[in-house]
Amino acid sequence: MKVLVVGSGGREHALVWKLAQSKRAKRLFCAPGNAGTLALAENVDLRANDVLAIVSFARKEKINLVVVGPEDPLCLGLVDALSGVGIRAFGPMKAAAKIEADKAFCKQIMQQSSVPTADARVFTQFRDARTYVATRDAGIVVKASGLAQGKGVIVCDDPADAILALERIMVRREFGAAGDIVVVEEKLVGTEVSVLAFVDEHTIYLMENTQDHKAVGEGDTGPNTGGMGAYSPTPLPDDKTLRQIEAEILVPVIDALKREGVTYRGLLYAGLMLTPGGPKVLEFNCRFGDPETQPLMMRLKTDLISVFEAVIDNKLDTVSLEWDPRPAVCVVMSSAGYPGAYESGKEVLGVEEAGRLPDTVVFHAGTRRSGEKIVTSGGRVLGVTALGDTLQEARDRCHRAIDMIRFDGAYHRRDIGHKALAK
């Protein structure tokens, strides 16, 4: 069959890499893809957000399965549009993707269904938000309600910082219309974990545990990024907490959506804080995590096409996922300056040699081909991922590979997995 993956990041390279192992994938396309997907798939020069162009390409090529990676096309209704012309697509429809696209809506769904989450208020006027924030004394988190490429969340230690954050979002409108509505919530303290689950009309199937490292600096310091590394499995959450997350968070949220007339089908990503008072939701994403997908795909043994098809056909109950028991680690190599301004177009060297190390895959994120060269084209450039008999060995392998790769201004964290390694 012909499969098209939409997107161009490390997540999409990992999905393409996994799909390429399926005997059933006769031809693979990636739109727009990157220098890494090019080795496994035919890159198609279309923007991931160009719904009309992607639908028309999929029709012309008679694509049998489309897998949508990023949130933007999902929230724009790409799966609705593909389904509308009879093309099978993996990912939630627009109305379900709203759980990520609209944080105020997501809060409302959680409040309606008594799902544990940070106490929050929603504002559309700067003056009202400022008045409210001034009465708070503890840590506050200010969030642009709409999609802001993961940058619209500002964690503040005190009200003065929160007022500055409100000014950035509501007055200077740094995130444009994504900041028309603002969610102001209490800052939760604890251990952050990501739970990714396949969801169809009847079934929720949890993937193995992963943990992302959002902060740019070692020891989880500095501003938040899209993710500087991830590993799987993680000791947290334990089985009891996972069952609690499924029963008290995932099931009620999916039921609440159903009561709104919305069926969730696709991948549901819950960002959670394990607090002394139990797991609480930070956010929901309507797609695979990036970079969580990189270690997960290295560990997944089951044919991914069969899983996607089962979700689309509401037959997830017939599937069981098999995992490599060995841990996997992904260490992101980023451009100097990321998550702030950074330069692109730097030549990347050593990727092929590094990828020949045992059980090591160099997933591309922000790269493109320029003639014979590979050059940087994004903040997160590569996701160097490896399996090992232990977490330490997996990480050492990543570091060995990274030592073989060079580009101007390359940066990575050396402490991915530190919480599990400290245990």
Report in angstroms how near the CB of residue 383 gets to ligand AMP at its nearest. 18
Q: Which does 141 bind (CB under 5 to 8 A by kind): ligand GLY, ligand AMP, none?
A: ligand AMP
64: amino acid identity, one letter: N
Does residue number 289 form part of the binding site for ligand GLY (CB under 6 A)? yes
Cα gap 364→9, rounded to integer Å:
7
SS (HEC) of the chain: CEEEEEECCHHHHHHHHHHCCCCCCCEEEEEECCCCHHHCCEECCCCCCCHHHHHHHHHHCCCCEEEECCHHHHHHCHHHHHHHCCCCEECCCHHHHHHHHCHHHHHHHHHHCCCCECCEEEECCHHHHHHHHHCCCCCEEEEECCCCCCCCEEEECCHHHHHHHHHHHHHCCCCHHHHCCEEEEECCCCEEEEEEEEECCCCEEECCCEEECCEEECCCEEEECCCCEEEECCCCCCHHHHHHHHHHHHHHHHHHHHHCCCCCCEEEEEEEEEECCEEEEEEEECCCCCCCHHHHHHHECCCHHHHHHHHHCCCHHHCCCCECCCCEEEEEEECCCCCCCCCCCCECECHHHHHCCCCEEEEECCEEEECCEEEECCCEEEEEEEECCCHHHHHHHHHHHHHCCECCCCECCCCCCHHHHHC
Residue 64 touching ligand GLY (CB under 6 A): no
The stretch near ligand AMP (CB under 6 A) out of 62-70, 171-179, 182-190, 379-387 is 182-190
How far apart are alpha carbons 293 and 290 in whole angstroms? 6
**9 lines the binding site for ligand GLY (CB under 6 A):** no
Residue 374's binding partner out of ligand GLY, ligand AMP, none, with CB under 5 to 8 Å set by partner kind: none
Q: Which is nearer to ligand AMP, 89 or 106 (CB)?
A: 106
Interaction residues for ligand AMP, span 102-141 (CB under 6 A): 118, 141
Tell which one of 271, 278, 350, 409 touches ligand AMP (CB under 6 A). Answer: 271
- Residue 208-247 contact track with ligand AMP, rule CB under 6 A, x = bound: ------x---------x-----------------------
Among ligand GLY, ligand AMP, none, the one that 185 touches (CB under a kind-dependent 5 to 8 A) is ligand AMP
Q: Minimum distance from CB of 360 to ligand AMP (Å)?
A: 27
* 191 lines the binding site for ligand AMP (CB under 6 A): no
Q: Which of 185, 208, 290, 309 binds ligand GLY (CB under 6 A)?
A: 290
Residue choice 12, 80, 283, 290 for contact with ligand AMP (CB under 6 A) = 283
Task: Report, in Å, the least distance between residue 293 CB and ligand GLY.
Answer: 8
Report the distance separating Cα 161 and Cα 337, nearest Å.
23
Shortest distance (Å) from residue 298 CB to ligand AMP:
23
290 binds, among ligand GLY, ligand AMP, none (CB under 5 to 8 A by kind): ligand GLY
Applying CB under 6 A, the site for ligand AMP has a residue count of 14
Q: Does 227 sit near ligand GLY (CB under 6 A)?
A: yes
Beta bridge partner(s), residue 323: 300
Q: Segment near ligand AMP (CB under 6 A), from 55-63, 108-116, 187-195, 197-205? A: 187-195
Interface with ligand GLY, residue 376, by CB under 6 A: no
Q: Is 153 in the site for ligand AMP (CB under 6 A)?
A: yes
Which of the listed partners (ligand AMP, ligand GLY, none) does 192 bind, with a CB threshold of 5 to 8 Å by partner kind?
Answer: ligand AMP
Rule CB under 6 A: is residue 282 a binding residue for ligand AMP? yes
Residue count of the chain: 423
Question: Binding ligand GLY by CB under 6 A: which of 72, 80, 200, 212?
Answer: 212
Residue 153: what are its φ and ψ, rounded to 5°?
-110, 125
Residues 6+ apart with CB under 8 A from 146: 101, 102, 103, 152, 175, 177, 178, 179, 180, 181
**Residue 292 interacts with ligand GLY (CB under 6 A)?**
yes
Among the listed ranges 157-165, 241-249, 288-296, 360-368, the one in contact with ligand GLY (CB under 6 A) is: 288-296
Question: Which residue in the set 187, 315, 369, 399 belongs to the binding site for ligand AMP (CB under 6 A)?
Answer: 187
Binding site for ligand GLY (CB under 6 A): 150, 212, 226-227, 285, 289-290, 292
Binding site for ligand AMP (CB under 6 A): 118, 141, 143, 153, 155, 185, 187-188, 192, 214, 224, 271, 282-283
